[in-house]
Structure 1
Amino acid sequence: MSKIALFGAAGAIGRSIASAISAQGQHYRVVGRSEETLRQTFGADPRAEIVSWDPDSPASVEAAAHGIDTLIYLVGVHYTRFELHPELMRKTLAGAISAGVRQILLIGTVYPYGLPQTTPVREDHPRAPHTFKGRMRKAQEDLLMQAHTEGRIRAAVLRLPDFYGPGVEASLLHGAIKAAAQGGTADMIGPLDRPHEFVFVPDVGPVVAKLVGTPAAFGKIWHLAGAGVTTQKALVAEMERQTGRKLKTRVVGKTMLRLIGMFNPVMRELVEMHYLQTQPVIMDDSALQQLIGPIEKTSYADGIRKALMG
């Protein structure tokens, strides 16, 4: 029987984690709203147990968590509905605890930190979100860690920076990678010359697989940093070097996002998070490396090459 469940498994990070768990010879459960999507994504892996759920139904949540020891939480919401994050976490926690789940790992973001007060940012950096999305993500984390403090379940958070990789569409770099591989113009959010970091999605899975098997990981928040500090401009240059042709770009800043947002709700939602383009949160993951050992990180040159290959 599967002892590890990935709730919200069908995204890029979920696929990476599932691949790492399967490579260890372990069975795992993938949980999502669409059974059809789950079967398309994981149906070829005999180690994958496919379960659909309705996160608004307590009985469905408990059934999806039944028999599970470790729950990895990747549940996403539409970018215009971030108020759902705490609500879904509350419902999932209740069902998981009722089902006897022993521990839960949330794959989180840098949003709860708000404006960075140091560079790089360590795990003890204040969580002082100044955006709605940051407050909702902080509320989600607070529910989880409160449950740990109260002894109802063991909990931890792994924060990730922006990510990219083969077939990863929900990436700041997706437009550039697609245009570099197929031609056309890359729509990008600028400025492109500010420091940034990205994690290569296939590198995430092995870290998570190791983390959930480390008892000392729980009760804390951890960082997984990217493969060093870079810029979008440098990565575009790397794409040009590898393809041998100039990449056409169309770069929008905060003012243009606000104008486009008058007609496009998703673009409107990007405005408040634009500070991450000008005052980026660069993470220090030395604590994680001390906990689980050296972390293998794909270089940006290799990551871009693999992403361009699709």
Structure 2
Amino acid sequence: MSRIALFGAAGVIGQSIAAALRSHGRAYRAVGRNEASLREAFGADPLAEIVTWNPDSPASVRAAADGVDTLIYMVGVDYWQFELHPKLMRQTLDGAVAAGVRQLILIGTVYPYGRVASNPVRESHPREPHTFKGRMRKAQEDLLMQAHADGRIRATVLRLPDFYGPGVEASLLHRAAQAAVHGGTADMVGPIDRPHEFVFVPDVGPVVARLADTPAAFGKIWHLGGAGTTTQRDLVAEMERQTGAKLRLRVAGKTMLRLIGLFNPFMREMVEMHYLMTEPLILDDSALRGLIGPIHKTPYAQGIRQTLAAVPRNRARAAVTA
């Protein structure tokens, strides 16, 4: 089997892909900036090779990619530093090409689309981002796909919607899951009654592993949608049904985000992307299913059950790990 490297491995998507590879006995390289985080996530897996890198060092990038056939790119940046996305992609591409990497898969977002004309959104929909973050993500994609067009590397992008699942803290549903288990008030970003979709993180890994082994996937962009259209309100109701307790909600709209953002840089940056809460963007992934066949999508009720089961029951432990 080809050798696979997960760049940005310690995040939840990286761990999902690693689990999919592990289930088939496939060795992989887990690459990240922080060795402690990598060892916590992958240290017990004999199939994992742990490698740290410095994306600002060409030699470090080449060393991290050396001997790799497929590079899966999930490198994150702080939400207020999206200007780094194109820079990091360019540096990684240069190092990967120099190291002889044959193909690269970027795990992308819906940000490059901007406001959409209609739903569901197919891959052919124009990319017309009206936000800074959308423009930076589009620039990242453009760098990669131009490298493919130039014959430097085989490339593809898999776009995902918002995600949720066990241990996923960077989720719109995280605070609601905590409140469902521990009580208290669930802080959410609203409105929470608009159509939305969420992909269950453990469902992503098997799809990415199949893409890596599908030659026809490269040179194109693909969508992976969630288990249907829902709303945050519906998923809160499912949490209430499963726990038997009514959740108290504190919903922040755009104005409240602006106020909170005076003291919290993450919330300040969320204001720009708030349109995704008011203007639905639902992905059509029929092309992906046509490419790789049926895709398992965990029903929301089952995904919520697994998400709640993973919330630490001890409040002190929850505070430490948050």
TM range (shorter): over 0.9
How much has 1:22 moved relative to structure 2?
Answer: 1.1
- Letter of the 2:191 partner, please give it: P
**Within 5 A, what are the aligned runs for 1:111-190?**
111-190=111-190
Contact 1:2 1:29 in 2 (8 A): no
How much has 1:53 moved relative to structure 2?
Answer: 0.3
1:309 aligned partner: 309
**Within 5 A, what are the aligned runs for 1:49-128?**
49-128=49-128
Q: Considering only aligned residues, what root-mean-square deviation do their CA atoms show, in Å?
A: 0.9
Partner Cα separation in structure 1 for residue 31 and residue 25 of structure 2: 19
1:266 aligned partner: 266
Contact 1:73 1:107 in 2 (8 A): yes
How much has 1:280 moved relative to structure 2?
Answer: 2.0
Partner Cα separation in structure 2 for residue 118 and residue 146 of structure 1: 27
Partner Cα separation in structure 2 for residue 193 and residue 296 of structure 1: 26
1:197 aligned partner: 197
- Letter of the 1:217 partner, please give it: A
How much has 1:184 moved relative to structure 2?
Answer: 1.4
Compared CA separation, residues 260 and 132, structure 1 to 2 (3 A): same
Q: What secondary structure does 2:122 align onto?
A: coil
Partner Cα separation in structure 1 for residue 239 and residue 36 of structure 2: 35
TM-score normalized by the length of structure 1: 0.99
Partner Cα separation in structure 2 for residue 125 and residue 2 of structure 1: 33
Q: Deviations over 1:56-111 (max 9, x none)?
A: 00000000000000000000000010000000000000000000000000000000
Contact 2:71 2:103 in 1 (8 A): yes
How much has 1:182 moved relative to structure 2?
Answer: 1.7
Partner Cα separation in structure 1 for residue 46 and residue 8 of structure 2: 19
Contact 1:2 1:49 in 2 (8 A): no
Partner Cα separation in structure 1 for residue 241 and residue 3 of structure 2: 45
Partner Cα separation in structure 2 for residue 307 and residue 13 of structure 1: 15
1:232 aligned partner: 232
Identity %, equivalent residues = 75
Contact 1:19 1:205 in 2 (8 A): yes
Partner Cα separation in structure 1 for residue 167 and residue 42 of structure 2: 15
1:37 aligned partner: 37
Contact 2:2 2:70 in 1 (8 A): no
Q: Deviations over 1:232-284 (max 9, x none)?
A: 00000000000001001110000111111122111110001000000021000
2:47 aligned partner: 47
Q: What secondary structure does 2:115 align onto?
A: coil
How much has 1:116 moved relative to structure 2?
Answer: 1.0
Structure 2 unaligned spans of 5+: 311-322
Partner Cα separation in structure 1 for residue 306 and residue 266 of structure 2: 28
Partner Cα separation in structure 1 for residue 100 and residue 264 of structure 2: 43
- Letter of the 2:50 partner, please give it: I
- Letter of the 2:5 partner, please give it: A
- Letter of the 1:277 partner, please give it: M
TM-score normalized by the length of structure 2: 0.95
**Within 5 A, what are the aligned runs for 1:15-26?**
15-26=15-26
How much has 1:230 moved relative to structure 2?
Answer: 0.2
Q: Does 1:296 align with 2:264?
A: no
Structure 1 unaligned spans of 5+: none
Q: Deviations over 1:18-77 (max 9, x none)?
A: 000111111000000011110110011100000000000000000000000000000000
2:313 aligned partner: none
Contact 1:2 1:28 in 2 (8 A): no
How many residues align? The count is 310
- Letter of the 1:183 partner, please give it: G
Q: What secondary structure does 2:272 align onto?
A: coil
Partner Cα separation in structure 2 for residue 248 and residue 301 of structure 1: 20
Moved more, 256-265 or 235-244: 256-265
Partner Cα separation in structure 2 for residue 280 and residue 113 of structure 1: 12
Consecutive aligned runs of 4 or more in structure 1 exceeding 2 Å deviation: none
Partner Cα separation in structure 1 for residue 280 and residue 90 of structure 2: 30
Partner Cα separation in structure 2 for residue 126 and residue 177 of structure 1: 35
